Amino acid sequence: VILLSYINTQLRDFYQSLDELCKSLNINKEQIVQKLSSAGYKYNAGLNKFI
């Protein structure tokens, strides 16, 4: 839940896409997507957040 909150806050406040966030923070997009997916969350590009 902490990861979800952090990622969504970063997306809301600083980044226009998950790709931009991952590139800027030098993190692996697939790992983030997989971790949050295993907790039941999916990235919604239109809303730019995990729901």
- Residue 19, CB-side half-sphere exposure with 13 Å CA sphere: 1
In this predicted structure, what is the pLDDT of residue 10? 98
In this predicted structure, what is the pLDDT of residue 36? 98
- Give per-residue pLDDT as tens, 10-48: 999 999 999 999 999 999 999 999 999 999 999 999 999
In this predicted structure, what is the pLDDT of residue 27? 97
Query: What is the pTM assigned to this prediction?
Result: 0.93
Quickly tell me which residue has 């990622």 as its tokens: 7
In this predicted structure, what is the pLDDT of residue 25? 97
In this predicted structure, what is the pLDDT of residue 8? 99
Q: Report which residue type is found at 28.
A: N
